Amino acid sequence: MKRKRTSHGVHFLLSAKARKLSITELYTEKSDADVSKIFHEMRWPETQGRPCCPKCNETDCVVSVPKRALLYRCKACEIMFSLTSGTFLHGCKLPLRKLLVGILLLADAVKGMSASQFSRQLDVQYKTAFVLMHKIRASLLVENSRTMLDGNIQIDGAYSDTKERKPNEHKAAREKPAQDKSKEEWKPTPRCILVARQVSDERRKGAVKTVIGFAPCENGKDVDAFVAKHIADGATVTSDEHAAYAMLIAHYKLKRVNHSQRYSGPNGENINQAESYFSRFRRMQIGQNHFFGKHLLGYAAESAWRDDNRRKSNEENAMALLGLLLKPNQDCLWQGYWKRYLRKGKAVTLRKASPKARGSRLATAA
Ligand SMILES: [Zn+2]
């Protein structure tokens, strides 16, 4: 019997479109110059990879420092800068090829990856892997804070770290008065992730843009601040029956679905795309990261980015991540994370050109 083909076709991740770049290709087909060119083009896209002075924005007066790879000097401003100066990768000492392989590994991990697994696959210390992954999350958070949604929006909130540890004693033993208060069971503090997703007008396309926010609990005040920052006036917002979303009717066309009665309203109102985000987010926690701790928002931003880019090739996603990491004028909060004295608000400054660097040659894209 001939098998009937579904209208959905093959799953995107099983198609050839999903795999445009591989680790094999990065190690066998790309030379050092090719890898360097990729980094230069992502760092200075306006000048097609030609190093540009961060102070005067000129390329003609920039020369490369002899015997120092990726270090440049501006003859006009007398400052030295590198490929990663002022970006999220400022001070990163990993070789470029290894860095690119790491970014590709993370772009390929559809449900995220634990820092321990990443450190083994990339052959770096756990600390290095942890910080690199958080630098990516920090760059995604910056993008998230600038994103505005319009059109058809679905909004919802979900709690993280809500499960209590199972008590040691059985029920009968627990009913006895506690002898020592210091031995009370640990209780987590629930924290709420708010999510708003812009749904495509095209059928079966799902959500196209996601923003996330944080609140101690699902409440009207935090929801109002979240939507004012991320949702354009006049948008259509769909939420569940929670009272925190009641006041959205003042600025938006509000649709609601009562989840205590049904999943989808009589006119098709639903927040399935917001629920879908939380489904992936929970799987990332259960399967990979286990504990989000104080970096919860970063993990939520990572999950949002993965969901929004689920139908892009791994090459596109890797280059997008590299582009975000190499955006200039960033606060390098993760620079020197393991060296506490570097973390205490030490601003990134550009070094003055040393007398040794005077005999530099004009720099071109590597
Ligand atoms: Zn300059």
Lowest-confidence range among 84-88, 138-142, 359-363? Answer: 359-363
Residue 307 reports pLDDT greater than 90: yes
Packing angle of the helix pair 272-284, 296-308 (nearest 10 deg): 120
Residue-wise pLDDT tens digits, 194-233: 999 999 998 888 999 999 999 988 899 999 999 999 999 9
- 182-203 average pLDDT score: 80
The pLDDT value given to residue 232: 93
Taking the C-alpha atoms of residue 144 and residue 73, their distance in angstroms, rounded to an integer, is 34
Residue 351 reports pLDDT greater than 90: no
The pLDDT value given to residue 337: 81
More confidently predicted of 40 and 8: 40
- Give the pLDDT band of residue 11 (cuts 50, 70, 90): confident
Mean pLDDT in the chain? 86
Residue 366 reports pLDDT greater than 50: no
Q: What is the pTM of this model?
A: 0.85
The closest of 312, 336, 321 to 139, measured between CA atoms, is 321
Residue 354 reports pLDDT greater than 70: no
**Class of the domain covering 148-160+189-308:** alpha beta
Query: Both ends of the chain: CA-CA distance in Å?
Result: 58
Cα 43 to middle of ligand 1, angstroms: 16
Residue written as token pair 């994370």: 337
Cα 84 to middle of ligand 1, angstroms: 16
Cα 52 to middle of ligand 1, angstroms: 8
Residue-wise pLDDT tens digits, 58-83: 999 999 998 888 899 999 999 999 99
The pLDDT value given to residue 348: 47
Residue 322 reports pLDDT greater than 70: yes
Cα 362 to middle of ligand 1, angstroms: 13
- Give the pLDDT band of residue 180 (cuts 50, 70, 90): low
Cα 78 to middle of ligand 1, angstroms: 7
- Give the pLDDT band of residue 347 (cuts 50, 70, 90): very low
Helices and strands (DSSP H and E) totals, the chain: 11, 10
Domain boundaries, the chain: 16-142+330-362, 148-160+189-308
Lowest-confidence range among 117-126, 154-163, 320-329? Answer: 154-163
Cα 98 to middle of ligand 1, angstroms: 30
